[in-house]
Amino acid sequence: MLNIIKAKWQDILIGILLVGIFILGFFISYFAFKLSNIFVPKPTATPNVFAIATPKPIEQTNKQVGTYNILLLGYGGAGHAGSLLTDSMIIVHIDTNSKKITFVSVPRDLWIPGNRKVNAEGSIIGFSNVGSTIASITGLPINYFVSVDFGGFVKVIDDLGGITSQVPATFDDPFYPITGQENNTCGFTNDQIDALKAKYSGYQLETQFTCRYEHLHFDKGQTGLDGATALKFVRSRHGDSDFGRSARQFAVLQGIEAKLISFQAANKFNDIVNTLSNIVKTDLDAGTIKSLVTIFGDPKAYNFNQIQLTTDNVLNSSTSSDGQFILVPKTGNFNFSGIQSYLQSSVK
């Protein structure tokens, strides 16, 4: 019976693991020998962003027995500017009482105490500690975290032979940065560059160097994506908004989920397990994952929901003292009570 339950969870929750979660639990008996480097070790004498404390036992939230919150963090990784900034922050809220799973997307531009954007937390305090920050914002205690290197994300999609995703809305991004071209002078002389610096600053200055960028365009509707294109699709910032990007991330997750399920049906999943093991870090150990799968029970009983924190509900657009675009709560800067109330009523 347990094996049947695991197989069902495999089909339903496989998409969650794309950003790095329970898929490993479904294959833990068969693939355990390949997955050892996914589980983050205890801290060494010199702390780093991946170091964590002793693995935690299975724990439920303090507010309601039977609910669990898992924080998914996606970061650029080596070869990307701001390699440890989290482009994606999603809470997976699992309520075994109401049989409901809710994906809560936290925007990276949310301004937090310390006068920084929330996407910088992982690089400053360590990915395993970001949960406490997210909990103070959302009121959802974080039980476990999973971090994913988007560099490996490209290889996963290519190993799958590409995916098909539904573009939620047509968008254009004329300034998507080309990796390795960050310092290209685009033919300007030193005097011309000095003149540009005197006239422009920040993003306006950067966009004068058009050779550093490529033009992205996606039409609304179904589209095929290889790994590199999918990464651009989910990371593009200037075509719509942070909220649009969140919707695109969900669309890609759904596309990968569908492809992974087809791979499992064709008995080809083993082909990408090694890639997954290289890009996923978590404080969920193998035993905990197996136990959680049992606790969650039959996935057919669950409903799924998505929530985005946006200016349509709990946030306002603003500008920091140094000119950065930021998002602040409608209840006031650093006052997250409105966000917490909204989520408490929304995840029920």
Mean residue pLDDT of the chain comes to 76
Class of domain 2-160+277-346: alpha beta
Q: Residue ranges per domain, the chain?
A: 2-160+277-346, 175-213
State what percent of residues in the chain have pLDDT above 70.
70
Please give the pLDDT value at position 189: 94
Please give the pLDDT value at position 314: 97
Confidence grade of residue 242 (pLDDT, cut at 50, 70, 90)? low
**Strand runs labelled E in 38-110:** 67-75, 86-95, 100-105
Give per-residue pLDDT as tens, 285-306. 667 766 777 787 776 678 878 8
Higher-confidence residue: 135 or 251? 135
- Mean pLDDT of all residues in 18-25: 35
- Mean pLDDT of all residues in 72-101: 79
Question: 250-279 burial string, b = 16+ CB within 10 Å, else e?
Answer: bbbbbbbbbbbbebbeeeebeebbebbbeb
Please give the pLDDT value at position 330: 97
Torsions phi, psi for 208 (to 5 deg): -70, -20
Give per-residue pLDDT as tens, 195-217. 998 998 777 888 899 999 999 99
Higher-confidence residue: 87 or 232? 232
Give per-residue pLDDT as tens, 59-70. 666 556 889 998
Indicate whether this model's pTM tops 0.85.
Answer: no
Confidence grade of residue 337 (pLDDT, cut at 50, 70, 90)? very high
Distance CA 273, CA 293 (A): 19
> Which pair of tokens denotes residue 289?
């994952």
Give per-residue pLDDT as tens, 119-160. 999 889 988 899 999 999 999 999 988 887 776 778 878 888
Q: Please, which residues have CB within 8 angstroms of residue 13's CB and are 6 or more apart in sequence?
A: 21, 22, 23, 26, 101, 299
